[in-house]
Amino acid sequence: MRPITLTLTATMREILATLLNPYSTLTVGSNDSTAFRRLEAHGLIQPDMSGLWALTGPGRAIAKQLRKEQA
């Protein structure tokens, strides 16, 4: 079985970087763009109980890797 690949757009990278900030307040209802839907479909973000987008474990790992690459 071939692994699924996802090419991150600049918008997707920005979303992951923003969600890495613990004070991020990206609400689920007001952020229904294709980028959010694709990140959610690939298991990198998910809505939390308070209605905000949150990183999943794999999403957090990718966001940290992207941050390291930019440093």
CATH number at residue 53: 1.10.10.10
Highest mean pLDDT among 2-6, 12-16, 27-31: 12-16
pLDDT at 29: 82
Q: How many domains does the chain have?
A: 1
CA torsion sign for 1, 56, 45, 28 is positive
pLDDT at 6: 82
| Mean residue pLDDT across the chain | 90
Largest CA-CA distance found in the chain, in angstroms, rounded:
38
**CB under 8 A, 24+ apart: contacts of 28-37:** 28/52, 28/53, 35/9, 35/11
Query: What are phi and psi for residue 66, nearest 5 degrees?
Result: -60, -40
Say which range, 22-26, 41-45, 64-68, has the weakest mean pLDDT. 22-26
Is 2 contained in some domain? no
Token digits of residue 58: 């794999």
Is 27 contained in some domain? yes
| Residue ranges making up the domain that contains 59 | 10-70
Is 3 contained in some domain? no
Is 49 contained in some domain? yes
Is 63 contained in some domain? yes
pTM: 0.86
